[in-house]
Amino acid sequence: MMEIGLNHFLVVGALVFLAGLFCVLTRRNAIGILMGVELILNSANINYLAFARYSSVSYDGQIFAVFVIMLAAAEAAVGLAIVLGIYQMFHTIDVDATDTLRL
């Protein structure tokens, strides 16, 4: 059996990224779009850690990944608060319906 190496992890990261991209492109539900963004951030993290393991002797990749997770948490908190605000105002979270800039 082939030795598991850097490329295997990069392929996994690429596939997760593609799933996230598809999610962002095809959803109209704002929460669905946010979940696609989470998938994309996770794929970036897989790549960071794969390179930190296989092509670097330092821990900088892992430290970057910590910051990515931190920003994802902040993004989710603010994003979902905005989604709830949109729902209170428009009674839907369909991003096509919320095209009003002011009331």
Partner 1 sequence: MNEFSLFPAVFYFLAAMTVVSAVGVALSNNIFYSAIALMGTLLGAAGLYVMLAADFLAVVQIFVYVGGILVLTLFAINLTSRIGDVTVSNRSLGRFPAFVLLALVGVGMMRAIGTANWHRVEVVEPVPTINRIGEAFLTTHILPFELASLVLLAALVGAVVLSRKELREGRG
Site for partner 1 in 74-93 (CB under 8 A): 74-78, 80-85, 87-89, 93
Distance CA(32)–CA(45), nearest Å, equals 20
Site string for partner 1, 30-49 (x = CB under 8 A): -xx-xxx-xx--x--xx--x
Q: Which of 51, 56, 42, 55 shows the shortest CA–CA distance to 13?
A: 42
Smallest separation (angstroms) from partner 1 to the CB of 6:
6
Shortest CB 29 distance to partner 1, Å: 4
